[in-house]
Structure 1
């Protein structure tokens, strides 16, 4: 009896490897981040997102109950990356000014990211139609950024490297000082976002002002 010839491709027959849910979620979140920033929330359909990720709409809804849940997961995913950066810098042994500047850069990496700025512009434009959009963006973006910085500041207070009465309030002030002006300039005046070198210089200046102030010291001569 003649033996069956092996496949010319030399590959076993069967279905291709199944992609894990975690990997699929990551692909969908990346696609959603770009689509929301470029096309807006209302114009982005779940069908398009599913097609871009190579999955069915049914699978997308199994992973994310709806478009709002996907937007929330996207914001949370970006903040998780920031939190890992802040936790890393909180453990280093550099002087407090260098450490604070590094943490402010980590905050700016999120707030001044071009897609994040585009998303914030989109949220402002569509918040009246989709009020939950703004609430989710604030909770999973702005508020968590401030909370991450507040946690780092609280740790520095415990180590007696700085003295603050209200770390949560101080964190909000620091983030505003670091990112608000360039963020507003980009959103309302189409000014180019600062480069990495400009962000680092701004962080160093902010850290120096926050730690030492900028009031000119009076020189008292001897009588």
Structure 2
């Protein structure tokens, strides 16, 4: 049972610490996306932010940890939106259309494109970047779609195959469209996003949808 008691407001010191942490993340995000991972340094961030090295390191013990916080900050709201799009009561087709459209729009956001260029370009020297991005962003979306596919298999709407591989198939179709951004091509219009979403979902359902209607749920 949820409590009706509201959490006490943060004290001034705690609020200041949260504001300071967010300011560090914002400055780091700008530097990572504009200058790259290798060119971003903790000492360089100090010049932008001011303050002492000890204070900065009290928030983030390494550049790698700071990069992980930036990924978390960039993707948290998006992950929540995508996961929420799979929880509605719409039919499978409408639910997947909505999910794919949201996913592709976010993938074409300039910050997302810059982040993926950074990871692709610098992972050879810093292999931890790809792992951080996967752990903080990709895996959450993959898990949400896998869980949804598994629920549709259980309901008899999709063939009983590996739900993770099925989820990866649909996500792969949507992600491939993002290559236009990586190559510097201007993003397409919303109408084209919607058309691609319907087309990709159509491919997915033609492969995996059962021919028989699902059995009614037991009361």
Range of TM-score over shorter length:
0.7 to 0.9
Q: Tell me, which stretches of 5 or more residues in structure 2 are unaligned?
A: 1-11, 208-219
Alpha-carbon distance change, 26 to 101 in structure 1, aligned in 2, over 3 angstroms:
farther
Aligned residue number for residue 77 of structure 1 = 73
TM-score normalised by L of structure 2: 0.76
Q: Is the 8 A contact 2:79 2:137 kept in 1?
A: no
Aligned residue number for residue 186 of structure 1 = 181
CA shift, 1:178, in A, is 0.9
Alpha-carbon distance change, 83 to 51 in structure 1, aligned in 2, over 3 angstroms:
same
1:205 and 2:216 correspond: no
CA shift, 1:53, in A, is 4.9
Alpha-carbon distance change, 158 to 200 in structure 1, aligned in 2, over 3 angstroms:
same
TM-score normalised by L of structure 1: 0.75
Aligned residue number for residue 89 of structure 2 = 93
1:34 and 2:30 correspond: yes
Larger radius of gyration: 1
Alpha-carbon distance change, 93 to 87 in structure 1, aligned in 2, over 3 angstroms:
same
Q: Distance in 1 between matches of 2:36 and 2:78?
A: 24
Q: Is the 8 A contact 2:83 2:141 kept in 1?
A: no
Aligned residue number for residue 23 of structure 1 = 19
CA RMSD of aligned residues (A): 2.4
Secondary structure of the structure 1 residue equivalent to 2:178: helix
Alpha-carbon distance change, 204 to 52 in structure 1, aligned in 2, over 3 angstroms:
farther
Alpha-carbon distance change, 87 to 128 in structure 1, aligned in 2, over 3 angstroms:
closer
Deviation digits for residues 129-188 of structure 1, max 9, x if unmatched?
A: 2121222223323333322221222233334443341111111111110121x322322x
Secondary structure of the structure 2 residue equivalent to 1:94: coil
Within a 5 Å distance, the mapping from 1:55-204 to structure 2 comes to: 56-180=52-176, 182-187=177-182, 189-204=183-198
Residues 81-90 or 32-41, more deviating: 81-90
Q: Distance in 2 between matches of 1:100 and 1:206?
A: 9
Q: Is the 8 A contact 1:79 1:145 kept in 2?
A: no
Residues 202-211 or 103-112, more deviating: 103-112
Residues 75-84 or 111-120, more deviating: 75-84
Secondary structure of the structure 2 residue equivalent to 1:122: helix
Q: Is the 8 A contact 1:114 1:193 kept in 2?
A: no
Secondary structure of the structure 2 residue equivalent to 1:130: coil
